[in-house]
Amino acid sequence: MQLQVAPSILSSDFANLGRDIRMLNKAADIIHLDVMDGTFVPNISFGFPVIEAVAKIARIPMDAHLMVVNPHKWFERCAKLGVQMCSFHLEAVGARKAASNLKAIRALGMKAGLVVNPDIPVEKLYPFIGKADFFLIMSVFAGFGGQKFIYESLDKVAALKAEIDARGDSAPIEVDGGVSASNAGALREAGASILVAGSAVFKAEDPAAAIEAIRNAR
Ligand code: DX5
Ligand code: ZN
């Protein structure tokens, strides 16, 4: 599968958000939106007014990563704003609710993603193979941009990829947190096909070149 790069606008320059989105339209594959509620994670980022502004100029798919309690409250708003990929954390809702949430996201016409933080064993995702359209492995603890990549995440990606293949499924694996051109090759090798990157893109002198470097990393 072709590697896709999903820059996280959490690290973008919010005073120049329009400029940054237009750059992503040309250089990136997906726009990653980190929604934080200050309760599920110890930080608040942005919500629907910002997503609405992004939606007006986005020409590539928007991917909403909901780091919130009760994510189901927000699926409809995401769908209405044209979000194409919508994910929530398994540990925020528990296994039973996760299954119904995935169904609800799909019923709204979005791709349904299930996320786990670094302290959640990857096996917890296996029951959802076939029920999720993609999986998101956090390679830092959700809450902040600019953290250091946790290398054990590579093993989680490889294990999940093997399980997805063994079951004849094709759900892509997205990885989020501390991703840069220096670990993107190893992530691709392990089986990831969507890489989220915040600081590696937006703190670079040439963000478009940084995206390209992640995409082509070996
Ligand atoms: C962390 C967010 C990430 C983060 C990535 O809670 O989910 O998307 O913004 O930023 P970097 O690439 O800087 O770790
Ligand atoms: Zn994210």
Number of domains in the chain: 1
For position 24, what pLDDT does the model report? Answer: 98
Q: pLDDT digit string (tens) for 111-164?
A: 999 999 999 999 999 999 999 999 999 999 999 999 999 999 999 999 999 999
Q: Within the chain, how many helices (H) and strands (E) appear? A: 9, 8
Given the residues 20, 29, 34, 63, select the one marked as catalytic: 34
Active-site residue flag, 13: no
Region of poorest pLDDT, from 1-5, 71-75, 137-141? 1-5
Pairing of strands 111-116, 4-7: unpaired
- At residue 11 the predicted structure's pLDDT band, cuts being 50, 70 and 90, is very high
Q: What is the mean pLDDT of the chain?
A: 98
34 lines ligand 1 (CB under 6 A): yes
CATH code of the domain in which 46 resides: 3.20.20.70
Can you say whether the dihedral through the CA atoms of 203, 8, 82, 30 is positive or negative? Answer: positive
The average pLDDT across 45-68 equals: 98
Q: pLDDT digit string (tens) for 80-97?
A: 999 999 999 999 999 999
Distances (CA, A) of 169 to 24, 129, 208: 30, 7, 32
DSSP-derived letter for residue 209 is: H
* pLDDT for 1 beyond 90: no
Report how far ligand 1's centroid is from the alpha carbon of 197 (Å): 6
Ligand number nearest CA of 7 is 1
For ion ligand 2, residues whose CB falls within 5 Å: 34, 65, 176
Residue 199 belongs to domain spanning: 4-215
**The pTM of the whole model exceeds 0.85:** yes
